[in-house]
Structure 1
């Protein structure tokens, strides 16, 4: 028997919802040379960091994204991180 429905999304569910937006909107803007500001809650940012940095499913469990701690990514031509700057420090 299944338990009660969860009131929050799993990381996998967030990833399934977010990655099409990444491809269709965010990556498209970046490829056009535009700067993009992403503001969201913890799990969405964790999934985005996971995707950008190529973090494994196992290692993402150890990643903590703190509220109001901005991250700046400089991405290369393949949209991989050339530099990650923690602006909260």
Structure 2
């Protein structure tokens, strides 16, 4: 970064990704709600697997929106298949 450049924060909420549409939609809704609580800070959702956008795509979108200092926040709070199916079967 050049001297004197202004940092513009961005936030990337990174989820696992799920075969369940509702789980992925939840992360997108959370990203919108978080962004609404900030003043001029872009927030994007990204996924490790299964769903798009992936990490790099979400990161690139933040850069296109002007962010040059990105905070990556892992988000593994919703009940995807591991929580609703795999764990109960164990």
Range into which the TM-score falls when normalised by the shorter chain: under 0.3
Output the TM-score relative to the length of structure 1: 0.24
Output the TM-score relative to the length of structure 2: 0.24
Structure number with the bigger relative contact order (C-alpha 8 A, sep ≥ 6) is: 2
